[in-house]
Amino acid sequence: MKTTHRALRLASIAIAAVLMAVTVPAPANARPDPGTLEGTVTVVTNHHCKQTRIGTQFVRCDALTGAGTAAPSWVPES
């Protein structure tokens, strides 16, 4: 009778240890994002247009440029 209680206790401890080992999250790994071609923006490479501003945004050939930085007041406004 004592042997079955001891075996049952050891089995439950072993099962609990295995469950804890399996459920512990693994560390995160960083890797570069390969990116996709879906939703990409066509970039205008026509350099005949002058860079101007609309409000505080840089504009060239009807395309916003400047990565969202504010255009200074000395840039001509179109």
pLDDT in tens, 62-73: 677 777 778 777
- Asked whether residue 74 carries a pLDDT value surpassing 60, the answer given is yes
Q: Is pLDDT larger for residue 55 or for residue 62?
A: 55
CB 63 within 8 A of CB 52: no
Interior/surface letters 29-57, b for 16+ CB within 10 angstroms, e for the rest = eeeeeeeeeeeeeeeeeeeeeeeebeeee
Q: Which two tokens stand for residue 73?
A: 């007041």
Q: Model confidence at 45, in pLDDT bands (50, 70, 90)?
A: low
CB 77 within 8 A of CB 53: yes
pTM of the full structure: 0.35
- Asked whether residue 13 carries a pLDDT value surpassing 90, the answer given is yes
Q: Which two tokens stand for residue 39?
A: 């939703």
